[in-house]
Structure 1
């Protein structure tokens, strides 16, 4: 009897422990990390408008596979129709991919690494690192000229080529083609999630922590090379971090005159104390100074340079300048020509901001509801927090109504951003990347209308404190990816702070130089004004000594935001009508992941991310594309709205298993007890 009792106890304890283990495991997702493909390539297909038919996808290449083999395999896997009859003599001929209506005189063309193929799709054997693009195109092929340069740690140019790439090709294609023309090897790997990652260029010797960062037109590129579609005149620059003249990146021991390091020298030579000249106080900022600078920018710089982008149109509308009819007419034509279709959600967001600032209803512009294109966008998070933040800003700019069944309601957007805040208080552009001043400031602007909620206000306060701690003693924010202290970052911070009611000239954002004898105090507005040039524009970096268009646009927006702050006007400069809808994100839910369309992890720059690459960060960046909401961050399997593979343990299945084990355990106990009683 005693043995039976012990047996029963053993069985009971064993079943309880087993059940507990399964329950714990069921609530612990088992993540599977993406990895570089041993022999990989990327493939995509777009129509004549550049809209994806086959989303950008990383694929494993089998030996001897042709471009047609890969296309057939992927379209079958993704259930995309492929009309490609086989000719007995010439092989397969691609009539159509998907259900695209081909314009007259256009057909499907294959581009390989930025160049139109000289053989049929079944005549090209795919190689590791290849980029395959099928696109609807006419003849002659449209091309764009892109300059590609690569600079090593000592400033030596390894690449400096201007290439003509097939229109619709990626930034990665441009780099590959530049390497081919210069006979310089571009060593790249294809990642199952993050697409192309540049390992090295030429025979450059890399340190353990060295990697190739990417700038676009002087701006830190907050997106992956595989996802960015270059425009004619673009400059893609890959750069390694600088080192000292000897190339060691390490400081030398001071010379004591006896061959010993200073701490070992019997008579160490004293290091001379610096004797810097005291710096003068920065010019005080007055309303008159701000107003005069705004007028100078608008009346001189932008009158000369015109409107080159939507955010400049927004700024000039706020100033009160009437937009030229040509701008609106060109915008109408562009939208009609594109049939209202844009690749990135930020394209819609910038246009909506531009139209709303001009009192034009973006819900009905040349027959298109551009607002709906935002709140029902399948690619909302492909550009990371950038796209989500600017979605809120654009939707709130005209207090546009969002249906309750929208993919992205205001509640969902706010909740998503709250969930993405990092422990430090800042936000990054992409998952697994470091905080970005630009992205954090932008999100402050987005959350400003909702700061009456305690959880939102708490997130804002934490972010403001983090930004203040990151401000350097010169009043700005130095970042190696921006090339240094960029005026656009300071401008973005001013816009964000004023939106949430924080004074950018207050004590929290006024710094004193740590240099002895210096008495210079400088705040954010004073620092921004140091970038002003004689022509009325603003420089990207102080060392540039010339105006930059994007920097000037951002400076104008920042000064307008500060002008509103001084006049005790509206909070965000992007709100052109007051919100009348209440958006509440329950505090108890703010720590849970948003239950909206699954977020895609964007690629950050070309920076290594744990177990993968890239995005980088956008984004969130010097003349940061994030600042305008125009960085194009894109993910692998999630690109074009395609779901990422489910790499976590299925919670439901494990719970069911646990329940089954509990039932079996109970049955065993009952059976054992009855048997012992009968005995």
Structure 2
């Protein structure tokens, strides 16, 4: 065969390949235009109207005025398709700027707008209406008939279990608010006031949003959550099968008393008792400290990464999300030796953000006192207000705030101590006595979280020379905490409980590395599993990252217990302020001694202690081994000269690049095919 014939033959083959690829890609493009598969859930007030996949393409939506609107690829087309196939009435109103979903089925927006249909995309409020949002493959869409704000629920449970075996169900609510840039910031939190249903049997939920469930009959169980003020969760299917080969059974035990039910059942815990004659759980000997995990350079880098994440979340008003997260963030930076006035964005500091807080309850004032002191501020002259005097106004007959809860008393102790209130003052002693009187028979205060917080307050009270005997209560609480380590080595199988637990251990003067569960895992290892590669921490895993949980994690990483106080902005102050009653007082307020030194955990550097001003990037510490911390970390390049603001490309970035590459090749194929057809 001559060279010319070979050239022509290969040329024809090449053109045919281009044509085939063009036809194939054109076919794919046409197929994609037929519709996009998404998941859509429609939650009415009393029932779930639809929960499943739907293909969204072109549609015609008719409003209540009889006018047809041609739409393509928007979420509303999915709703139109569902209501037509399910024979559900759909009411759409055109106000001139778009179509408004006025009613689905029997759920119609009332005249007072007390309830309406809200639209969520991928577990966040949509920025545009359902008639405008262009769907993408795999989107998770929710239309919910609810009041304002819309608070969706979710349940987490294993896919399989055995008859008679216990498993834990977590019930969470999505809470959030818009920041100064109108970006919604949300976080999943325990939904302890929701109702949990297992096969139409109501199951009680404890304060941590958990319930331990036992299903005795084989088959498929259905689990969901609902309640006043919430959007019903999707229904979770749990297979109860005698042939289940492997069942993951979480080891979390409910931390508050719940009533046992017939089937399913919730395992009861000891009832609350404050009798002085109650049986005392034997105190477990203090574990011998071993090699400190996450110590030194590794933990310092983890702190730097977490603080950098928090800093990136700061808005132009100085706040990090709302009042709540701003206050906890101030404490995090304070634990690192950074005052709130040092953390800024476009001229606005965290101190500025703290100044705008709205305080409407005892816990609000307590949190603000702790934050102001962590920032080095004066709680007796904050924004012209005396926060100590305001907190005193909530104290009635020894009880701070609400009489039905104990958390405002527990944090009241911490607030009094943060404010340097005299250790023998009636306010401090009344609050300490109230906390002691409400300790449960098992040594807890209702939950792991509150127990850890109470331990920190009582230990600090004792260190400052308080005369009320708190040693026995602290030992019983320690015994409870030690017995409630989860399978990861932490507490409650969540970041918040683990972080607060670590702080309680530090407050005891012990090293968390010495607290090992039956598998030899420690709280340090548990804490590491919740950190994402972006530096933030999640509540249940490293995937549900939030500023809230990150702010909880940092003091624990630094080995700092509450209250966290830093040096005052003004070294010596003579304060003039007016009491609520109007009496003017003049008082010298001594500067508190900074509490930046960790009593038990060595090797960690705060920002104030670092010699270098530039933070180093580090990969979150996961699967930490007692033998070698650094060997179990994910490898990461640490080239010198990488700018501080550099953010490495993530999986989504690479996916976007590959998508562009694929589109470019598709275009070449289509163009080649068309040219070939014309020739």
- State the TM-score, normalized to the length of structure 1: 0.41
Structure number with higher helix proportion: 1
Structure number with higher strand proportion: 2
- State the TM-score, normalized to the length of structure 2: 0.41
